[in-house]
Chain A
């Protein structure tokens, strides 16, 4: 069964305290791994797409990496405005365009 699991469920950091969020997946065929950010009361907002093991993408304080079994979202020197829920999703082989989402990691960054 195709599955995406994120850990931890919740993470509290002090401002400036770097950390990583994990997304592990077991799927029959990967056609892309996505990271989204979701603020309370809002729809998810696209951050990154990774396609192959070894690929990395960066945006401000965020860096996403991909291996054959998992992806990490590294947050360097986070600020309170980075507080949000971060969602990971995988796109399966085939042309359905469907994504399977993990349950998310809720990040709180305290000043």
Chain B
């Protein structure tokens, strides 16, 4: 089983719908991240969380919200999806005790907003 699991892997939805992408991890890491990947733009940080009580905005948080339900779970919500939120979304974790900054990524959730 994957250490960082994302659901759903693929989702097609319509403009205005509410969407939730979920991430769970078995690595025991405190830090979790949501990134978005678009062709030619690389990975951009949406939100990150250092523990259950700590949530921080990344560089492109507008239109998104997150919830850290437990150390192992971090979900990303689009309250009212729009077509330019069509992208590949990645959840990632890191272990601050290692102090290497290495991120461990999930397999990605491909979202299409029509």
Contacts and interface: CB of A to CB of B under 8 A. Distances in A.
Interface of A: 4, 9, 31-32, 34, 41-46, 49, 87, 89, 91, 96-99, 101-104
B2 to A, nearest CB: 9
Contacts of A96: 48, 56
A47 to B, nearest CB: 10
B47 to A, nearest CB: 11
Contact of B101 (A44, A99, A103): A99
For chain B, what secondary structure do more than half of its interface residues adopt (helix, strand, loop), or is it mixed? strand
- The interface size bin for chain B is 20 to 34
Closest A-B pairs by Cβ, 5 of them: A43-B105, A103-B42, A101-B43, A91-B101, A101-B42
Interface of B: 4, 31, 33, 35, 40-45, 48, 50, 56, 58, 90, 92, 94, 96, 100-108
A102 B41 CA distance: 8
Given A97-B94, A98-B48, A101-B44, A43 B4 contact: yes
Nearest to B56: A96
A43 B107 contact: yes
A49 B98 CA distance: 12
Given A31-B101, A34-B102, A43 B58 contact: no
Contacts of A44: 43, 90, 103, 105
Given A43-B90, A103-B40, A97 B105 contact: no
Given A43-B107, A97-B48, A98-B58, A49 B101 contact: yes
Nearest to B102: A46
Contact of A45 (B35, B101, B105): B105
25 contacts: A4-B42, A9-B40, A31-B101, A34-B102, A42-B108, A43-B4, A43-B107, A44-B43, A44-B103, A44-B105, A45-B105, A46-B102, A87-B43, A89-B43, A91-B101, A97-B50, A97-B101, A98-B48, A98-B58, A99-B43, A99-B45, A99-B103, A101-B43, A101-B44, A103-B40
